[in-house]
Amino acid sequence: MVPKQKYKDYALTVFYDPKVCIHAGDCVRGLPSIFDIVKKPWINVDGAPTAKIIEQIKQCPSGALSYKLSKDA
C-alpha cells in the first residue's frame, strides 16, 4: 500500500495520493513552479502564493491532490 505524500510550509499542506493519480499532468502544466516531476521533492509548496496552489489543486481531475490550510497562517 502506497501512503499519501505530504508537502508543507507554514500556511499550507499539500497531499498527493499516488494510487488515485491518473497522471493527466494538469498540475505540472498549470503550475510548474510548484509541480515539477524532475525535481525532488516534486511538489514545492514555497513556489507560488497559497491561493494559486489551492486553485491548481482544485483542477486535479482525479482528486489525487488535496490540501489543508494551517491554523496558524
Q: What is the pLDDT of residues 23-62, one digit of tens each?
A: 999 999 999 999 999 999 999 999 999 999 999 999 999 9
Q: Say if residues 44 and 33 touch (Cβ distance below 8 Å).
A: yes
Q: Say if residues 15 and 68 touch (Cβ distance below 8 Å).
A: yes
Q: Can you tell me which residue has the cell 482525479? A: 62
Tell me, what's the pLDDT at 73?
Answer: 47
Q: How confident is the model at residue 3 (pLDDT cuts 50, 70, 90)?
A: confident
SS3 helix, strand, coil % of the chain, rounded to 5? Answer: 20, 20, 55
Residues in the chain: 73
Extents of the domains making up the chain: 5-69
In this predicted structure, the answer to whether residue 1 has a pLDDT above a threshold of 70 is no
Q: Say if residues 8 and 45 touch (Cβ distance below 8 Å).
A: yes
From the candidate CATH numbers 3.30.1330.10, 3.40.50.300, 3.40.640.10, 3.30.70.20, the one assigned to the domain spanning 5-69: 3.30.70.20
For residues 31 and 66, give the distance between their C-alpha atoms in angstroms, rounded to a whole number.
15
Mean pLDDT in residue range 5-24? 95
